[in-house]
Amino acid sequence: MTRQGGVVTLADAENYVHRLIAPSSPHEAWTVADNDVLAGLVCVTVDEENKSGWFWYWMTDTARGRGWTSQAAATVADWALNTRGLERLELAHRVNNPASGAIARRAGFVREGTERGKFLISGQRIDVDTYGRLGSDPSAPFERVPMADS
């Protein structure tokens, strides 16, 4: 999360949201709302030239472990490929963050490889697993959630 730009103050949070929703932003973000309160985010950062998107997500700590991120990721991935018209989605996660890989697989992503020693974190080189999902890949058999555009 700190690599997303560390949100600590209300002003940081407002900047974070503005970066996501600015008219020129490549980010197409969907919030996961719990009775209108922000719980998490699933976002596709679009590369129009390649009709592809970088797929990323987070869930606030008190709402984790309920399957919400998996459901939201499966829903947004289907939307991105079937409605938004992208042809490839890709993501990556550190191997010491296996929950993220579980979410990717549940959202229909296929593991494509490992970038060895990708990041230097606290003096340790950390491998990163990479995943992709093409429009032609099967949809994930996971419960979808309703999407509301605003």
Ligand X SMILES: CC(C)(COP(=O)(O)OP(=O)(O)OC[C@H]1O[C@@H](n2cnc3c(N)ncnc32)[C@H](O)[C@@H]1OP(=O)(O)O)[C@@H](O)C(=O)NCCC(=O)NCCS
Binding site for ligand X (CB under 6 A): 1, 56-59, 64-70, 93, 97-100, 102-103
Q: Which is nearer to ligand X, 23 or 80 (CB)?
A: 80
Q: Which is nearer to ligand X, 8 or 24 (CB)?
A: 8
Strand intervals (E) in 35-95: 37-47, 52-59, 88-94
* Shortest Å, Cβ 32 to ligand X: 9
* Shortest Å, Cβ 71 to ligand X: 7
Q: Which is nearer to ligand X, 33 or 49 (CB)?
A: 33
* Shortest Å, Cβ 23 to ligand X: 26
* Shortest Å, Cβ 14 to ligand X: 20
Paired with 17 in beta bridges are none
Q: Is 21 exposed, middle or buried (0-12, 13-18, 19+ CB in 10 A)?
A: exposed
Residue position matching structure tokens 């010491």: 96
Q: Is 36 exposed, middle or buried (0-12, 13-18, 19+ CB in 10 A)?
A: exposed
Side chain identity at 135, as an amino acid letter? Answer: G
Q: Which is nearer to ligand X, 1 or 10 (CB)?
A: 1
